[in-house]
Amino acid sequence: MFSWLQPPRVPMVIAHRGYSLHAPENTLAAFRQAMDAGADAIELDVRLSRDGHVVVFHDKRLDRKTDGTGSIENRTLEELMRLTVVQGPGTRGTRGKIPALAEVLDLVGTRAGLNIEIKTDRRSRHRRVDIIERCCELVTVRRAEPVVLFTSFDHRLIRELKRRFPEMNAGLLFHPLKRVGRSTVALAERLKAQYVIFSGTSLRKYAVGRAH
């Protein structure tokens, strides 16, 4: 079984939104192809539908990546699953559907790790708590805690997640243009997050040393 606390190798190969070069990003096809290609883990994004289901989609709005329009949070799960995810450059004409997180967890099982980035409205604590509880419930019922790493740019969300579900793995995301250092690692320690994630251009030797 994959475990974020004991990775199969370092560095790991993590497929960003699945194998999105050959299949539409954040679709079951992209995740399946990533595993077939040997990825250690898969990164994906989740949001809440209007009726409170956790769905896998990056953007706040549907316009760029589907044949629908408007905010994803204004659509029910049933409405979202009727939409078609529009192919991107290099996806060889393939199309896909917006999956529910439950479908992805069942597809991946213990075959690969899942880095689940939680997207939400930073102004609404209610929405943060709602998506945290629903995500963790889906993971807990499948006993998938070792396989899942929850991440977010919203550090208040990670604080809330670790307070409510301390057994879950968590990581802090930092904006690529943000200069990070020792204080970044100290923040992760205070929030009991196991991972700190930032772009290579922001990486500093002293931050790596502080993390280890």
Q: Which helix (H) or strand (E) element contains residue 191?
A: helix 182-191
Q: How far apart are CA 184 and CA 181, in angstroms?
A: 5
Q: How far apart are CA 171 and CA 12, in angstroms?
A: 15
Q: Is 155 a catalytic residue?
A: no
- The active-site residue out of 22, 53, 58, 175 is 58
Q: Is 175 a catalytic residue?
A: no
Ramachandran class of 29: left when φ > 0, alpha when ψ lies in -120 to 50, beta otherwise: alpha
**Extended strands (E) in 11-137:** 14-16, 41-48, 54-56, 113-118
- The active-site residue out of 16, 126, 155, 212 is 16
User: Known catalytic residues?
Assistant: 16, 58
